[in-house]
Amino acid sequence: MHVAGISYFKVIITTDLFQNAKAQLEEAYKHFPASKETKAVLENPQKVIQASIPVRMDDGSLKVFQGYRVHYNTTRGPAKGGIRFHPDVNLEEVKALALWMTFKCAAVDIPLGGGKGGVIVDPRKLTTRELERLSRAYIDELFDFIGPDKDIPAPDVYTNEKVMAWMVDEYNKIVRHQHYGTITGKPVSRGGSLGRNKATALGAYYVLKKACETQGINPGNARVAVQGFGNAGYHLAKMLYDDGFNIVAVSDSRTAVKGDHINPDEVMEIKAACHNKSMECVFEDGYVKDNTKYQKITNDELLELDVDILIPAALEKVITEDNAEKIKAKMVVEVANGPTTIEADKVLEKKNVFVLPDILANSGGVTVSYFEWVQNRQGYYWEEEEVYKRLKKIIEAAFDKIYHVSKEKKINMRTAAYVVALERLSAAIDSHGTEEYFKN
């Protein structure tokens, strides 16, 4: 089956992903005097859950799927993080994503900790009924570890609001009352927040516009390439197109489209009508009247285009030491989680590429998830304009703070974002007492 709004990218997830995430933290330690307690607490996840999840298939057989949930740190609030259904999910990946979420929440100063979950499965090979059973079974197995005051899951790769609706329904069945604040990213009809669908893209749009001001990039002249045409990639491309940016390339998991002033709506309409929901149909007769204005390229070629702004919006580790030297963009906006390796970071910094790190650039999603959680607990729901107004305030304040630290300490934006987050996490951890406190 196809889950709407998600681009599926085949990537190699290796066990060094968690070490890559920790290396980014180690860099921040060089610029902030974290206590022994802070370093000890943040060295490893607070809690790691691995579950075998039995699901009865439509043909009567029983399959057992491996699932994970990680709470990295909950000092500043309940764990928060998505659940991904993907065949390449593994524990090291989930730990890395939970660490990033911990720092993401702290970087934008929302009172939540970091968590993440996943199931090893290719949901495209499941029927709708099988997907529902798996979604409910995940909650059954992880029930004791989640809840509105413990851990609040949300959608991630290959899960969506329908999956979240099944999950919150299963949780409420078990507790025998309505607890909509347990899951975010739900349909609006089931307690979801207005504006959540565009939140990640809109947050990225706000920080990108602020960054353009500091880097002297004129939207009317800026060439943009977007790798990943799922929910966030599509909406961000559309916002930029409407704002006068020149979208010169977009891609999904199967192919990339190169052109001039590409209209994201036109490409999305073709993709939605395609027999395999792919951009491949942009190059097929019958789907588009004039396909001569498009050129077919690979995802790798997209990353190396001569553009002002490159937006990786797919999965992890697409910019590596193997291709970083070939990146020509002046600015990289990380809408995906962990798209740049630590080795590639060093190369980009030497090339003076301005990188908006994932824990800032894609924080709009978790920020509006936080709004959803707040609204669920209050039983009072905001208008869409109110959601966007609050999101803009938080995101722009986070950019200003991180950019200031970057300039003050003469460090790149990623390290600055970690320093800002580390300062807040350290204050919360050290409030319990430090070695110096207890000695005295």
Q: Would you please indicate which residues are annotated as catalytic (active-site) residues? A: 116
Pairing between β-strand 295-297 and β-strand 256-258 as defined by DSSP bridges:
antiparallel
Six-digit token string for 248: 């010169």
Distances (CA, A) of 200 to 93, 155, 184, 365: 21, 12, 14, 4
Q: How far apart are CA 296 and CA 5, in angstroms?
A: 22
Residues 6+ apart with CB under 8 A from 126: 1, 134
Residue for token pair 């989640």: 146
Alpha-carbon Rg for the chain, nearest whole angstrom, is 21
Judging by DSSP bridges, how do beta strands 331-333 and 79-86 pair with one another? unpaired
CA angle 248, 331, 15 (to 5 degrees): 100
CA geometry: angle 368, 372, 378, nearest 5 deg: 140
d(CA 26, CA 30): 7
Count other Cβ atoms within 10 Å, centred on residue 111: 13
The residues near 329 (Cβ < 8 Å, ≥ 6 apart) are 225, 305, 307, 308, 309, 310, 353
Q: Say what angle helices 199-215 and 384-409 make with each other, to 10 degrees.
A: 40
Instruction: Please list the residues that pair with 71 across neighbouring strands.
Output: 47, 115
Buried b (16+ CB within 10 A) or exposed e, 245-274: bbbbbbbbbbbbbbbeebebeebbebbeeb
Q: Which of 267, 242, 240, 237 is nearest to 254 (CA)?
A: 267
DSSP state of 319: B
Please give the Cα distance from 97 to 105 (Å, whole number): 12
